[in-house]
Amino acid sequence: MSETITEPELHHEPEAGSSRRMTLNMGPQHPSTHGVLRVVLELDGEFIEKATPEIGYLHTGIEKQCEALNWQQVITLTDRVDYLANLSNNLCYSLAVEKLLGLEIPPKAQWLRVLLAELTRINSHLVWLGTHALDMGAMTMFFLTFREREDLLRIFEMFSGQRLMTSYIRPGGLALDPPRGWEKPVKAFLADFPSKIDEYESLLNANPIWLRRTKGIGILPVEEMLEVGITGPLIRAAGIPMDARKMTPYSSYEKFDFKVPTATENDVFARYAVRMAEMRESLKIVQQALDGLPEGPTRADAHRVVLPEREKMKTQMEALIYHFKIVTEGIAVPEGEIYQVVESPRGELGYYVVSDGSAKPLRVHMRTPSFANLQGLPNLVEKRQISDSIAIMGSLDFVLGDCDR
Amino acid sequence: MALVNVTINGVQVQAENGALLIEVAKQNGIEIPAFCYYEGMSLQAACRMCLVEVEKAPKLMAGCTLPVAEGMVVRTESEPVVKARKTTLEFLLSNHPLDCPVCDKGGECELQDMTFKYGVGESRFTEIKQHVPEKQWSPVVFYDAPRCILCYRCVRVCNEGMGVGALGVSYRGVNAEIIPSNGDHLECDECGSCIDICPVGSLTSGIYRYKTRPWEMEHVGTVCTHCSNGCKTTLGVRNNEIVRGNNRDKSGINGEFLCVKGRYAFDFTQHPERLQTPLIRNAAGELEEASWSRALKLVAEKFKALAGPDFGVIGSTRTTNEENYLLQKFARTALGTASIDHHRTGDVVTLIDSLSGKTGQLATAEDLYTSKAVLVVASDLSQQQPLLANKIRANVRHHKAAVYTVTPGPVREDKIARKAIRIAEADSLAGVEQLREALSKEAELVIIYGDAIQGEKVRQLVAFGESLGIPVKYVALVDYANSRGALDMGLLPDLGPGYHATAPGRSLQQMLDDPKLAALWVVGSNPLKGGKSLASTNAFVVVQDLFLTETAQRADVVLPAASAYEKNGTVTNVCGQVQRLKKGIETVGSKADLAIIGLLARGMGVNLGKVDADAIFAEIAASVPGYNQLPMPVILTGGAVQTHPVNGGVPPSSVPGIIASARDTLFTTGSLTRYSKILNEVLEKPGALYS
Amino acid sequence: MANSISEILGSAAAIAKGMSVTLKEMMSPTVTEDYPDAPAKFQERYRGVHVLQRDEAGLEKCVACFLCAAACPSNCIYIEADENTEKKRISGGERYASVYNIDYSRCIFCGFCVEACPTDAITHGHQFEIASYNTSTLIYRKEQMLVNIAPNVKAPALPVETTGGH
């Protein structure tokens, strides 16, 4: 074995007059940006001197479109903001409208909303974990997480009829009563999933490549994070236990027992660790929601807002009239404005809704976590290598539809 | 009237003593819901929806019949009231069929609205409903008894509003239902007011029936193109097709009133015989289809060659003011002819001349509703001028106005008249003279006269009015949607726009009779109707019309034109009130007359300035006396503004027989109504009085 | 020598370990679906291409009330209504849809139309393979969505009306 391998020259000294500086477009079509994000990188060799995210490639005008649809129809648009957190968006909008209407939502609907919102969190984290690991070369993770995600999508389909565009949580309750036999797949998932999380961790936690690429990477001072409005697992991985479910509980979250996982390292690995812990906490919440599910209706008793039961609509004159009027004219939401926050998988999701008392919203603004979290990107990747930027972007877990709206 | 203090829901308001509580509440922004109460109609107190709590009254009181009095304390939202409303609605719905999905009224139903706003969420009465089959009363009126809530609105609007009284209520209790005058069918004006006024889907329209939904239509407020009254009509348009006409927003001079023509006779726009392409007479002497460019080129060349004093132009009584103005301007300047005329149907010209030097003596439609006395001379208003007749009836009902009629035969106004004189048309003035004593005792008077009064007789009538010593206003009746506008815009052989004298030319009849006539340009008119012929056999005839009329059949070139529902512009009604047309539907193949005139001018190399309805209206406003200083915001927003034409001081030439009304009925107005399928289906006996 | 034996044994152990995972996975049930070779599996509530229903007598359930069109957030439903007559009875109610089109290039499968329908006439089927190279073929007419008359039901007096569509 006397052969000597000559290592290729990695670093050429620049010739006189030339430069190692270049501008590189990362995206808008780049696998690691998970959508159409363009980051203009000013490079000095492998090092990023300056990073400028260019957003807006997925701008769909959803906020404006909300003003053209009536209050119930807007639900279909909230599905389409964040394809990994449809039910969180459904929930946030519904809560906002319900607050304006002053509606009391029956406990069964609230519990089911919590259950579905937590399954949504797991679903989103699974996609994040699979793609994040895939970006770093751990391809198996992608297959494993998507295997489990399929179970969740089936549950969503079972409830709402669609895997992604659920439109299931509505102002006033739920679109339909839960389907026959819905507990079975949820229970099966609850029973199965803890071991799957262990499996993921056994693949990653001791993986030297994973550790070398995530530990100590992507640290941003906490003050700066707060300044640009970073929330969710990112801020929790920086040691701040900020969580809307605890700080401004909604949909009876205060009645559930769960912890807000935090870490202090504030690096890519800490964010990974926090999300893994969150999935475990979410399982606990789903278990509680399943065990303690109250009896009763799934829609509020508000005949001017909620469509009457189908049976009544077909036999009672009053119910038929309410059905007809709600469908054709929409619901009249009292004049006012409201800002409603939920903890989406990505952080603080806020809906700012203004009503002028008519059947259509005057304004719907979405404060989306992806948009705020992306603000930290330049400072996170500058002075770091390009390869680190992939890990950092993955750890931010943004959805471009959510960012651009 | 003395003002009294009333407290409604804790707010003290002032109201006229004796005013109805429901009206007082409404004026102060408080809604007292009601079905049977209808502004302008007599009180019924049938629905029990307007019950309110009045202090010191032992029971709830009906707000629609309760006059306010000093110190009255009313609560409209207290618990007993809310409960009473819910109960009332429950009862109304207890036998109401579950028809909303199929009912035409769905989406604009007052019962739905009230239930949504005031009703209970749950039904307690879910017993089997009593079913009665739907009945058809006429081609346009259907009645579904189980949906009826017996508010009597239709009965009252037919009796009081229309003066027909074709509807009544029969049977008692749960079996009570509305029945038509003739047992199983209607004989009436077929105006459809009962359908419109019905708060539920009990009375439905035969043509709108099961077609669409209110939210699926575009609602275009324009002016009816049939008679001269200028009613505002809101067209429901879907897929470039007019589906219905009504005026539920009560805008315009007519409020919600519309006659059979305004409500139904828009279907001529969809008639299969509508011309869609220009026609040119070929070598074989037949009209054949041609392209617009070829037809326009041919006409422009011919016009250029034939321009001169022997060129005849006949304008229309339906085209817009802008089109009429442009037509006469084009004829007088570019074509160099003074032979311009139109089908004259009433002597407005002499009236304006007789009133020269005086102001404020032309009545508006509103004056007929407010004037203390009205004199109708030689006209069957209910048949020919339905809106004016309706205004007079409302005036009698609300203000107890005195009505006098001088007519050759019985008219519906006789029933409400203080005095009705039956006298031959030729002797109308003698009949008027008989009323001198009675009329001179009135505080004010509006005189309405038909085409029997023309020329010197108009002057005599005005002199009679002057001699009464009371304020008198006049309406010279004309027939068509823009008959008045055609006169105002100078479609006359001796008068230009604003009744100012110009070099005289041939009148309509003289054009037809002149064998030397080189060319005849007929825009939206049918002078050869009724077997008349053109004396000049060689004349080059160009006709712009919607259909192949008798005149169009004689034409060398026929250019398909757009109807009033297919264009923008302004029209002037019988009382000289200018209103704006709004385009409801797009045309297929045809062009608006304004565009055709503009294209012909361009083809001849004549510069008419900007050919666009707004630009030409601005020119009219700047140059035509009477049309200047009109408040544009009112017109642009769909209001009506009266013009004040001033005579140029030149006495009009008075040729006997040149002014002749077509004596239409409620169901006919010249060529357009011939092509209305609906109107021909409902055709009732003209002149029926239903007394 | 010993060195190379241990190397061989180590490699063999690694292969065995790897193969055991493979073997284990071979035994466990597949999580992937065999689509398109086998039909795709759906939950009961799946929202696919709409199906227009008939009643027990074989008449159309749709009475052309337009509620679905009003509820639709993407304006993809186009209806023309007409009146049933004694001779020509299409639906159970007084009116029926002479034209009922759904534009699947606009439809978002939200199910609002199904919720709005007062007569259960429009429902979601499980058909989803509607992709086309030509968007005009995505406008489905009533006849394409209407269920067939059940074999044990005598057909209505008149054959299903065919409309030109829009």
Q: What is the predicted pLDDT for the residue at C163? A: 43
Domain topology for A62-404 = Cytochrome-c3 Hydrogenase; chain B (1.10.645)
Q: Which amino acid type is present at position A161?
A: G
pLDDT band with cut points at 50, 70 and 90 for residue C4: confident
**Does residue B684 carry a pLDDT above 80?**
no
Please give the CATH topology (third level) of the domain spanning C50-145.
Answer: Alpha-Beta Plaits (3.30.70)
Which of A165, A180, A328 lies nearest to residue C110, judging by beta carbons? A165
To which H or E segment does residue B606 belong?
none
Q: Is C158 exposed, middle or buried (0-12, 13-18, 19+ CB in 10 A)?
A: exposed
Please list the residues that pair with C92 across neighbouring strands.
none
Are the beta carbons of B337 and B313 closer than 8 angstroms? Answer: yes
- Spell out where A27-165 has E strands: 38-44, 47-54
Q: Is C67 on the interface with A (CB under 8 A)?
A: yes
Q: Report the share of chain B in percent with pLDDT over 90.
A: 33
Rounded Cα distance between B564 and B480, Å, is 12
Q: Contact at 8 Å (CB) between B452 and B287?
A: no
Residue A337: what pLDDT?
A: 93
Cα separation, C102 vs C165, whole angstroms:
11
Tell me the C-alpha distance between B351 and B374, whole Å. Answer: 17
- Which chain A residue has its CA at the smallest distance from C116's CA? A327
Range with lowest mean pLDDT among A281-285, A355-359, B476-480, B652-656? B652-656
Put simply, whether C69 touches B (Cβ < 8 Å) is yes
Q: What is the mean pLDDT of residues C118-133?
A: 90
Do the chains contact at A316 and B123, CB–CB below 8 Å? yes
User: Does the pLDDT at position B401 exceed 60?
Assistant: yes
pLDDT at A316: 86
Distance from C-alpha of A63 to C-alpha of A352, rounded to nearest angstrom: 10
Calculate mean pLDDT across residues B3-29.
90
Give the pLDDT of residue B653: 62
Q: What is the pLDDT of residue A10?
A: 46
Average pLDDT over residues B343-349: 87
* CB half-sphere exposure, A38, CA atoms < 13 A: 10
Q: Which ipTM did the prediction report?
A: 0.84
Distance from the A348 Cα atom to the nearest Cα atom in chain C, whole angstroms: 26
Q: How far is CA A191 from CA A150, A197, A202, in A?
A: 16, 12, 19
Average pLDDT over residues C155-162: 48
Of B134, B209, B213, the CB nearest to C66: B213
Fold of B279-344+481-674: Rossmann fold (3.40.50)
Where is average pLDDT lowest: A179-183, C85-89, C139-143? C85-89
CA distance B258 to B140: 14
**Distances, alpha carbon A183 to alpha carbons A285, A287, B75, in Å:** 15, 11, 53
Q: Which residue has the higher pLDDT, A234 or B675?
A: A234
Please state, as a whole number, how many other Cβ atoms lie within 10 Å of the Cβ of residue B638.
17
Closest in A69, A157, A176 to C46, CB measured? A157
Take residue B579 and report the two structure tokens written for it. Answer: 């209103």
CB spacing of C43 vs A175 below 8 angstroms: no
Cβ count within 10 A of residue C97: 25
Q: Which residues of B touch C91 (CB under 8 A)?
A: none
- Chain centroid to Cα B212, Å, comes to 25
Cα–Cα nearest to B529, from B651, B655, B674: B674
Q: Does residue A324 sit at the B interface (CB-CB below 8 Å)?
A: yes
A67, A70, A109: which is closest to A91 by C-alpha? A109
Which of C69, C70, C94 is closest, CB to CB, to B102? C94
For residues B404-422, give the mean pLDDT. 90
Residue B533: per-residue pLDDT: 86
Residue range B3-92 forms a domain whose CATH class is alpha beta
Q: Which residues contact A285 (CB under 8 A, 6 or more apart)?
A: A114, A115, A118, A256, A258
Q: Which of A260-274, A357-371, B392-406, B630-644 has the lowest mean pLDDT?
A: B630-644
The residue in chain B having the minimum alpha-carbon distance to the alpha carbon of residue C118 is B101
CB contact under 8 A, C65 and B102: yes
Summarize the confidence of residues A233-249 as an average pLDDT. Answer: 91
Mean pLDDT of A370-393: 88
**Are C44 and A158 within 8 A, CB to CB?**
yes
CA dist B550 and B532 (Å) reads: 9
pLDDT tens digit sequence for B328-344? 999 998 888 989 999 88
Structure tokens that stand for B11 in this block? 């707010």
Q: Do A161 and C111 touch (CB under 8 A)?
A: yes
Interface test with C, best of B104, B210, B215, B240 (most C CBs within 10 A): B210
- For chain B, say whether A64 makes contact (Cβ under 8 Å): no
* pLDDT > 50? residue A8: no
The average pLDDT across B670-677 equals 77
Mean pLDDT of A98-107: 91
Q: Which of A308, A320, A328 sits opposite B98 (nearest CB)?
A: A320
pLDDT class for B660, splitting at 50, 70, 90? confident
* Alpha-carbon gap, residue A375 to A371, rounded angstroms: 7
Give the β-pairing of B241-246 and B472-476: unpaired
Q: Look at phi and psi of residue A188 and say left if phi exceeds 0, alpha if psi is from -120 to 50, else beta.
A: alpha
Q: In what order do the strands lie in the sheet with A347-355?
A: A336-344, A347-355, A361-367
The answer to whether B595 touches B612, Cβ cutoff 8 Å, is no
Give the pLDDT band (50/70/90) at residue A341: very high
The C-alpha R_g of chain C, in whole angstroms, comes to: 27
Residue type, A58: L
pLDDT of residue A3: 45
CA angle A6, A10, A13 (to 5 degrees): 115
Q: Which two structure tokens, joined as six digits, stand for B287? A: 């009209």
Cα–Cα distance for residue pair B245/B237, rounded to 1 Å: 9
* Cβ of residue B101 closer than 8 Å to a chain C Cβ: yes
Provide the pLDDT for residue C159.
45
pLDDT digits (tens, 9 = 90+) for A38-60: 888 888 888 888 888 888 888 88
Which chain C residues contact residue A72 at CB under 8 A? 112
Of A319, A324, A328, the CB nearest to B123: A319
B 182-241: CB under 8 A from A: 213, 215
Q: How confident is the model at residue C166 (pLDDT cuts 50, 70, 90)?
A: very low
Give the pLDDT confidence score for residue B675 in this predicted structure. 82
Measured in degrees and rounded to the nearest 5, phi and psi for residue C91 equal: -120, 175
Interface contact flag, A179 C43, Cβ < 8 Å: yes
C-alpha distances in Å from residue A265, one per residue of A132, A217, B110? 19, 10, 66
Give pLDDT, residue B669. Answer: 66
Work out how many CB contacts closer than 8 A connect B with C: 33
B361-385 pLDDT tens trace: 889 999 999 999 999 999 888 888 8
Distance of residue A65 Cα from the nearest chain B Cα, in angstroms: 20
Report whether pLDDT(B663) > 80.
Answer: no
| B98: closest chain A residue by CA | A317
C112 vs chain A: nearest CA distance in angstroms?
8
Is B115 close to A318, i.e. CB distance below 8 A? Answer: yes
Sign of CA dihedral B671, B676, B680, B682: negative
- What tokens appear for B303 in the block? 């016009």
Phi, psi of A346 (to 5 degrees): -100, -5
Asked if C31's CB is within 8 angstroms of A150's CB, the reply is yes
A313 in contact with C, Cβ within 8 Å: yes
| Mutation target among C25, C42, C115, C120 for the A interface, most CBs of A within 10 A | C115
Site of tokens 């052989």: B493
Mean pLDDT of C93-116: 91
**Helical (H) or strand (E) element with B560:** strand B557-560
d(CA B595, CA B592): 5
Residue-level pLDDT at B299: 93
Interface test with A, best of B85, B94, B115 (most A CBs within 10 A): B115
In chain C, what residues touch A157 (CB-CB under 8 Å)? 42-43, 45-46
- The domain limits of chain A are 62-404
Residues in chain B closer than 8 A to C94 (CB atoms): 102, 134, 210
Q: Which CATH class is domain B108-270?
A: alpha beta
State the average pLDDT over residues B394-420: 90
pLDDT digits (tens, 9 = 90+) for C5-55: 888 888 888 888 888 878 888 888 888 888 889 888 888 899 999 999 888
Give the model's pLDDT for residue A280: 92
Q: Which residues of A touch B113 (CB under 8 A)?
A: 325
Mean pLDDT, chain A, integer: 88
Answer left, alpha or beta for residue A97, where phi above 0 means left and psi between -120 and 50 means alpha: alpha
Q: Mind telling me how many Å the CA of C32 is from chain A's nearest CA?
A: 8
Tokens found for residue B627: 């049309």
Put simply, the answer to whether C65 touches B100 (Cβ < 8 Å) is yes
B211 and C CB contact within 8 Å: yes
Residue type, A358: S
Q: At the fourth CATH level, which superfamily is domain B348-477? A: Dimethylsulfoxide Reductase, domain 2 (3.40.228.10)
C51 interfaces chain B, CB cutoff of 8 Å: no
Residue-wise pLDDT for B44-82, tens only, equals: 888 889 999 998 888 999 989 999 988 899 999 999 999
- How much is the mean pLDDT over chain B? 88
Per-residue pLDDT, A277: 93
Q: How confident is the model at residue A5 (pLDDT cuts 50, 70, 90)?
A: very low
For residue C109, which residues of chain A lie inside 8 Å, CB to CB?
A: 162, 165
Helix (H) or strand (E) holding B245: strand B241-246
pLDDT computed for residue B579 by the predictor: 92
CA–CA min distance B113, chain A (Å): 8
pLDDT value at residue A19: 65
Do B437 and B407 contact (CB within 8 A), yes or no?
A: no
Residue B608: pLDDT over 60: yes
Taking the Cβ of residue C153 and every Cβ of chain A, the question of whether any pair is shorter than 8 Å is answered with: no
3 state SS of A151: helix
Is B572 a residue whose pLDDT tops 70? yes
Closest CA to B276 of B564, B587, B544: B587
**Rounded percentage of chain B residues whose pLDDT exceeds 70:** 96
